[in-house]
Amino acid sequence: MIRQLIEKIQKTKAPVCVGLDPMLSYVPEHIQAAAFEQYGETLEGAAEAIWQFNREIVDHTFDLIPSVKPQIAMYEQFGIEGLKVYKRTVDYCKEKGLIVIGDAKRGDIGSTSAAYAVGHIGSVQVGSKTYSGFDTDFLTVNPYLGTDGVKPFVDVCNSHDRGLFVLVKTSNPSSGEFQDRLIDGRPLYEWVAEKVVEWGDASMDGDYSNVGAVVGATYPEMSRILRNLMPRTYFLVPGYGAQGGTAEDLKHCFNKDGLGAIVNSSRGIIAAYKQEKYKQFGPEHFAEASRQAVIDMVADINRVL
Ligand SMILES: O=C(O)c1cc(=O)[nH]c(=O)n1[C@@H]1O[C@H](COP(=O)(O)O)[C@@H](O)[C@H]1O
């Protein structure tokens, strides 16, 4: 699967991923009003509004980008109606030729991880039939439970040619609280990085492994160390834009060939029309603002590669 992602990155010349993290407050009034008119101010109405919002953003950006990353929490807040829109969004993006990174940060004891893996990137047996529940191409995974919590994801990844991005050094302000703690003289994120390499050894797909790593854009010095420790691991890099990460901060995430990382921006793209820089588009043309924000992000990143 990583091979397909890389091919799309090369074709679009855009090592970026649009984060489909819709909050209702980002959805322009006219879309909310139409959805509420149809379904009332209900969870269904909210879900319809975020679906219409997502669809327009995807329609205005799919030709520029290789991938999207829907964050499942934004859908789960609307319960089952939200989850239906998560799935609808995944399917729509795949129809448009995009690689879909499901951001669910799953990880549990082995048997539970196996069920998560089946539901998100694998397939489930129902009598004589098999079904792929969410059917995303990649899934984000939390490695806190250790090898037996991660292995079921790797197994499904190998059997279904899918990919993972395992949390190694996250972008948030408190990420150092545990991740930077020294164990036998080395920070925890380095120990995790070595495990990610080990877990991914049997999942090579071309020059890179299907088992990737999440490395936040907000800690550039650490990304330099991690790039050296994990030369054949693809990085999913969140934290650009809304969290303060800049193009300069991303340099170390990439290998010399310009590959090795895909940079996510969610709010910076989907809520671009709310920023001063893109205000001229107005809420009616929010998706055009998102398109311009993608064009600007790609140019900004390519400038430092
Ligand atoms: O796994 C992730 O994608 C992730 C890891 C991390 O370290 N930091 C991080 O922000 N994310 C996700 O990346 C997205 C960032 O959103 P923006 O800050 O709006 O660009 C959200 O969906 C986060 O859940």
What does 180-238 look like in DSSP terms, one character per residue?
T-EETTEEHHHHHHHHHHHHHGGGEETTEEEEEEEE-TT-HHHHHHHHHH-TTEEEEE-
92 part of a folded domain: no
pTM: 0.98
Q: The CATH number of the domain where 134 resides is what?
A: 3.20.20.70
46 part of a folded domain: no
> For the chain, how many structural domains are there in total?
1
147 part of a folded domain: yes
C-alpha to C-alpha distance for 262 and 19, rounded to whole angstroms: 12
User: Are 247 and 301 in contact, with CB atoms under 8 Å apart?
Assistant: yes
User: pLDDT tens-digit profile of 196-247?
Assistant: 999 999 999 999 999 999 999 999 999 999 999 999 999 999 999 999 999 9
39 part of a folded domain: no
Domain of residue 201 covers 2-23+65-73+102-299
Mean pLDDT score of the chain, rounded to an integer?
97
Average the pLDDT over 6-35 and give the result: 98
Query: How many angstroms does the Cα of residue 239 sit away from the middle of ligand 1?
Result: 6
User: pLDDT tens-digit profile of 91-147?
Assistant: 999 999 999 999 999 999 999 999 999 999 999 999 999 999 999 999 999 999 999
Q: Is 33 helix (H, G, I), strand (E, B) or coil?
A: helix
The vertex-167 CA angle with 220 and 231, nearest 5°, equals 60
Strands 233-237 and 261-265, by their bridges, are: parallel
Model pLDDT, residue 169:
98
Ligand 1 atom nearest 170 alpha carbon: 7
Q: Is 167 helix (H, G, I), strand (E, B) or coil?
A: strand
User: pLDDT tens-digit profile of 69-79?
Assistant: 999 999 999 99
221 part of a folded domain: yes
80 part of a folded domain: no
Q: Which two tokens stand for residue 270?
A: 């989907």
95 part of a folded domain: no
C-alpha to C-alpha distance for 101 and 162, rounded to whole angstroms: 10
C-beta 71 within 6 A of ligand 1 = yes
213 part of a folded domain: yes
C-beta 290 within 6 A of ligand 1 = no
Locate tokens 């079904």: which residue? 131
